[in-house]
Amino acid sequence: MKYLLMLVGLGIGLIAGDNIPSWYFNPPSDNETSWYGVGEGNSLRQAKDSALADVASKLSVTISSKVSSTTTQATTDLYTSLNKNVNINQESEVKKISFNDFEVVSSTQNDTKALVLVGVNKAKFLKDQGQTLNDTIKEIKALQMAPVGKSILGRYQKFQEIAPDVEKAKTIISILTTFDPSFNRTQMINVLRDYRDSMDEIRSQIEFYIDFGNDSRYSADALKEALGSEKIKIAQRLNRNNPNLVIVELDTESTNKQLFGSYMVNTRTTVSLKSNTGSTLSSFIVESKGNSSLDYSAALKNASNNFKQTVNEKGIFTFLGI
């Protein structure tokens, strides 16, 4: 069915003027050394990319089947979580994988369309994936062994920086488990568990102090509510001797305007995250608008409701960059 649909998209010129090569409908079967894929496009480059996507799609199906069959046999929470994560996300993640070692086995092109048959070297692909995984494992271990010199939020952000690599590592683990019989996943899973536990431990120690002026009072309430819902500690007083303290400074500039009996307020709130020593860790701006028929105070509160909506839509961790 797939190849029939691809034929429909080839274009009248290619169908009418050229013979479709037999390898397009009957590509070589995958074997111990190579995976094969076919693709079409407006250029040879597009057709090659389509062919590699065809290979990725076949890998995705095989991996998904393997994950589904092993999830029911899982004996640990991390194993189950890892498999479920890959099962849910593996289709998009596998499609992001680069095939660094492949060959264009056959190709044909006319004025409008191109067809390509590619072969991917299994051994080289699995070796590259293993190297990528090992590099990520080294990054994780280096973070865990690094001296505790940074602010606690700085340490947490360092773990966050490699989060995309860790997510990719989960997919690679499933790839190697599926296609490399000699791969030992236990050690890799333990490292990922340690990474997750380290992040949770650091985050549990963070304590936020909200520093705000009068125009930021409603926004401060929104942050406190969001932090409280995630059971994140909120300091009631500023203690610069607390190494786990993160100061969230809110500085709101308000512009007031009255039009046709409506009170309107535009706010521009600078949100700055600072260490316990006062050094700025990050800073960003949130703009909001509010209006009221009552007074400027009510309009300011409504503008802050827009601020609160932004926090809730992004989630407090994403909003604050943690």
Alpha-carbon dihedral sign for residues 60, 77, 129, 183: negative
Per-residue pLDDT at 53 exceeds 70: yes
Residue written as token pair 């909001």 = 288
According to the model, what pLDDT value does residue 72 have? Answer: 47
pLDDT at residue 33 is higher than 70: yes
Record the tokens describing residue 186, joined without a space: 């236990």
Mean pLDDT for the chain overall: 85
**Secondary structure element (H or E) that encloses residue 264, with its range:** strand 262-274
pLDDT given at position 74: 47
pLDDT digits (tens, 9 = 90+) for 70-111: 544 445 555 555 555 544 556 667 767 888 889 999 999 988
In the predicted model, is pLDDT for residue 313 greater than 70?
Answer: yes
Could you give all domains of the chain from N- to C-terminal order, each with its CATH number? 2-121 (3.10.28.20), 125-204 (no CATH), 206-320 (3.30.160.150)
Neighbours of 160 (CB within 10 A): 16
pLDDT band with cut points at 50, 70 and 90 for residue 155: confident
In this predicted model, what pLDDT tens digit does every residue of 248-299 receive, in sequence order?
999 999 999 988 889 999 999 999 999 888 888 889 999 989 899 999 889 9
User: What average pLDDT does the segment 183-201 reach?
Assistant: 91
DSSP helix/strand/coil, 256: strand
Q: Which of 128, 141, 121 is nearest to 97 (CA)?
A: 128
Q: Determine the pLDDT at residue 306.
A: 84
Percent of the chain clearing pLDDT 70 (strictly above): 85
- Between the alpha carbon of residue 54 and those of residues 108, 120, 126, the distances in Å are 17, 11, 18
Lowest mean pLDDT across 87-91, 123-127, 183-187, 312-316? 87-91
Cα separation, 27 vs 50, whole angstroms: 14
Q: pLDDT tier at 49 (50, 70, 90 boundaries)?
A: very high
Say yes or no to pLDDT of 170 above 50: yes
Q: Residues 129-143: what's their mean pLDDT?
A: 94
Q: How many residues does the chain have?
A: 322
Q: Return the pLDDT at 17.
A: 45
Distance of CA 139 to the CA centre of its chain: 18
